[in-house]
Amino acid sequence: MPGILADLTPFVLLCAVGIAALSGVIKGLVGFAMPMVLVSGLGSLIAPELALAGLILPTLVSNGVQALAQGPQAAMQSVRRFRLFLGVAFVMLLLSAQMVAIVPTQVLLLMIGGPITFFALLQLAGWQPRVTEGGHRGLEIGIGAFAGFIGGFSGVWGPPTVAYLTALGTEKREQMRVQGVIYGLGAVALTLAHIGSGVLNAKTVWLSVMLLPPALLGMWIGRQAQDRIDQKAFRRATLVVLLVAGLNLVRRALL
């Protein structure tokens, strides 16, 4: 097997494929959580930096599919609407990505698991603040900076982004598209940043390539099921799963 795949056991590879498929199903249903599920699940099997390399291509391609679901014109409208958030997050992502190789494993696990746990708890507790778009530029900059900062470390920038879109009261269909645009552009930045940091290289890229087909298949299944289930109930179940995953990463960081 090519690259890093030759160093992993068949059991680990099979589990990684299953985790990728599950992340795709959740992504197809609720529009986010693929990198969180991947980094949490893979991080329990392999080193955090290898898990980060593995999620890059599935995240990049799946968000491109989601962003363009209503066509390029609708995607560009979303880019213009959230250009400040995107710009700030992009800069912070590029800066923080360069620190992955020098940050201790326990610190990296805590920086990934902490935000996941925090935002999952807030959402499960019913915290849904309402803000007026255009009236809170400081908040948009702050959330964009935080999302980009933790995204560069972990590939996970969904929780603060979802919280911000929810606070704006974004319509469901648009929120799905906007998430795809924001995460997609972030995924491009993440890919470039981690080519530069060395996390994604000629050896580790093969894990990311292997995880792409099951992730896309899972996403297709999730999109097919989206109209047939109670979206609110499933989103709550997803947050419970993410909370457990986040707590597991925090546990690993502290032990």
* 255 residues of the chain, pLDDT tens digit each: 788 899 999 999 999 999 999 999 989 988 888 988 898 899 889 998 999 999 999 999 999 999 998 889 988 988 898 889 889 988 998 888 877 777 787 887 787 788 888 888 988 888 766 666 665 688 889 889 988 888 887 777 777 787 788 778 777 778 888 889 888 888 898 899 899 989 999 999 999 999 999 999 999 999 888 778 776 777 787 788 778 888 888 887 887
Q: How far apart are the first and last CA of the chain?
A: 34
**Positive or negative: CA dihedral 170, 119, 183, 138:** positive
Cα 240 versus chain centre, distance: 16
What tens digit of pLDDT does each residue of 103-141 get? 787 887 787 788 888 888 988 888 766 666 665 688 889
Around 233, how many Cα atoms within 13 Å sit in the side-chain half-sphere? Answer: 5
What type of residue is 56? I
Map tokens 């469901």 to a residue. Answer: 172
Predicted model pTM: 0.79
Sequence-separated (6 or more) residues with CB below 8 Å from residue 211? 16, 17, 20, 38, 54, 55, 57, 58
